[in-house]
């Protein structure tokens, strides 16, 4: 999908239709080994990284807020020599590991509201504030979903969620009101055609793409909207191109695959006896599923355009590497579960018996 969605723009800018997908394949070549390594490391080693990773993430977010590179109104990129990274994407994984480590250490004290809140809530609030300073409300929303998810899994009282949702909703509206473009996005997202040539241009063309795809789509490579009409066709709005080329069947397949990942992760979290594995797996599921829901809602004009990639599908190494590493962690957690370990041992014994019989 990255190849199809990016080919026109890549050719117009570089003369090479494969320029963007070549970079994405480079990130895949780095990310798959990272996922494999993550699936093999011990939980003790992962937990040992929690505070260093969290501290580095906060430092990178602070540097981005102060010295970051602006793109599309958001200051969420940090230039490190010739490479630009998006620290907020890396911070998602570090926040999950850090919060899971703390809650695992406090497993027997989580009946106390104070133990649930400190230091996880202040730490995540600091990270979210640094992201908001860079005008990246999409990532801030994912951070908030992570926080709510982690509080829910440790058993926080319902009234806390009500207060949090009201407070964050009011704050988000207040922050949006400080920026004229955001106000127009909020006012127009349910009817993007009202301001078709202004802030409604991107969501309107996203809807055009989805509508023209029909049931089975126009076919891979046949998108019309990627020919300049649809901004961010291979990043934030790649789901629209997917819908145009693969139709309703393709979009439902992608959503179903995300739900399969969520089901597998929740099954691991439910079956494990290790509290760190439970909290970390649940946090990863909330992150990936929540980000998918936000991205798809944005493309379908059910949510304002807030600029957030579709995990595993959109172009971008800063998003792909931590996502693949997170999935590698979940695979490693699943492999080490007693039932999986017994099944693996049985397969190995059966294989050895078969080799002995042939010998």
Is pLDDT of 129 > 70? yes
Is pLDDT of 190 > 90? no
> What is the C-alpha separation between 344 and 338, in angstroms, rounded?
10
Q: Are 35 and 41 in contact (CB under 8 A)?
A: no
Regarding beta strands 83-85 and 74-80, do their DSSP bridges make them parallel or antiparallel, or are they unpaired?
antiparallel
Q: Are 336 and 46 in contact (CB under 8 A)?
A: no
> What is the C-alpha separation between 347 and 317, in angstroms, rounded?
36
Kindly state the helix (H) or strand (E) to which residue 69 belongs, with its residue range: strand 69-71
pLDDT of residue 358: 66
> What is the C-alpha separation between 334 and 120, in angstroms, rounded?
26
In this prediction, what percent of the chain has a pLDDT beyond 90? 68
Q: Please write the tens of the pLDDT for every residue from 297-352.
A: 999 988 888 889 999 999 999 999 999 999 999 999 999 887 766 766 777 777 77
Contacts (Cβ under 8 Å, ≥6 apart) of 201: 192, 231
pLDDT of residue 36: 97
Q: Are 323 and 255 in contact (CB under 8 A)?
A: no
**pLDDT, greater one: 100 or 77:** 100
> What is the C-alpha separation between 117 and 84, in angstroms, rounded?
34
Q: Are 99 and 114 in contact (CB under 8 A)?
A: no
> What is the C-alpha separation between 178 and 133, in angstroms, rounded?
12
> What is the C-alpha separation between 99 and 95, in angstroms, rounded?
6
Kindly state the helix (H) or strand (E) to which residue 96 belongs, with its residue range: helix 87-105
Is pLDDT of 180 > 70? no
Residue 191 has a CB neighbour count (10 Å cut-off) of 13
Q: Please write the tens of the pLDDT for every residue from 8-48.
A: 999 999 999 999 999 999 999 999 999 999 999 999 999 99
pLDDT of residue 272: 92
Q: Please write the tens of the pLDDT for every residue from 251-310.
A: 999 999 999 999 999 999 999 999 999 999 999 999 999 999 999 999 998 888 888 999
pTM, entire model:
0.92
Which residue is associated with the tokens 């004229």?
A: 180
* pLDDT confidence bin for 73, thresholds 50/70/90: low
> What is the C-alpha separation between 230 and 235, in angstroms, rounded?
11
Q: Where are the domains of the chain?
A: 2-338
> What is the C-alpha separation between 298 and 320, in angstroms, rounded?
20
> What is the C-alpha separation between 104 and 236, in angstroms, rounded?
35
pLDDT of residue 184: 67
Q: Are 76 and 136 in contact (CB under 8 A)?
A: yes
> What is the C-alpha separation between 269 and 158, in angstroms, rounded?
21
């Amino acid at each position: 999908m990255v190849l199809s969605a990016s080919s026109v723009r890549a050719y117009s800018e570089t003369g090479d239709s494969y320029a963007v997908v070549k970079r994405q394949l480079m990130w895949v070549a780095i990310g798959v080994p990272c996922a494999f390594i993550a699936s093999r490391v011990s939980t003790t080693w992962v937990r040992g990284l929690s505070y260093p990773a969290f501290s580095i993430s906060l430092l990178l977010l602070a540097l981005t807020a102060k010295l970051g590179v602006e793109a599309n109104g958001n200051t969420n990129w940090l230039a490190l020599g010739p490479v630009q990274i998006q620290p907020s994407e890396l911070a998602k994984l570090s926040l999950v590991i850090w919060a899971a480590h703390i809650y695992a250490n406090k497993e027997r004290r989580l009946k106390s509201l104070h133990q649930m809140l400190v230091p996880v809530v202040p730490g995540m609030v600091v990270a979210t504030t640094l992201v908001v300073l860079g005008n990246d409300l999409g990532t801030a929303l994912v951070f908030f979903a992570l926080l709510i998810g982690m509080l829910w899994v440790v058993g926080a009282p319902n009234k806390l969620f009500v207060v949090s949702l009201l407070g964050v909703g009011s704050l988000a509206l207040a922050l949006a009101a400080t920026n004229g473009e955001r106000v127009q996005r909020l006012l127009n997202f349910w009817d993007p055609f009202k301001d078709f040539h202004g802030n409604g241009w991107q969501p309107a063309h996203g809807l055009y793409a989805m509508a023209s795809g029909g049931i089975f789509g126009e076919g891979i490579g046949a998108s019309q909207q990627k020919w300049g009409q649809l901004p961010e066709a291979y990043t934030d709005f790649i789901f629209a191109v997917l819908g145009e080329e693969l139709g309703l069947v393709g979009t439902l397949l992608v959503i179903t695959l995300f739900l399969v990942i969520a089901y597998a992760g929740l099954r691991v979290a439910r079956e494990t006896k290790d509290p760190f594995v439970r909290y970390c797996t649940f946090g990863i599921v909330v992150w990936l599923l929540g980000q998918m829901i936000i991205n798809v809602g944005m493309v379908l004009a059910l949510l304002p355009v807030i600029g957030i990639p579709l995990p595993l599908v959109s172009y971008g190494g800063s998003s792909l590497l931590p996502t693949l590493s997170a999935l590698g962690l979940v695979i490693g957690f699943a492999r080490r579960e007693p039932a999986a370990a017994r099944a693996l041992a049985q397969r190995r014994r059966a294989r050895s018996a078969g080799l002995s019989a042939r010998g």
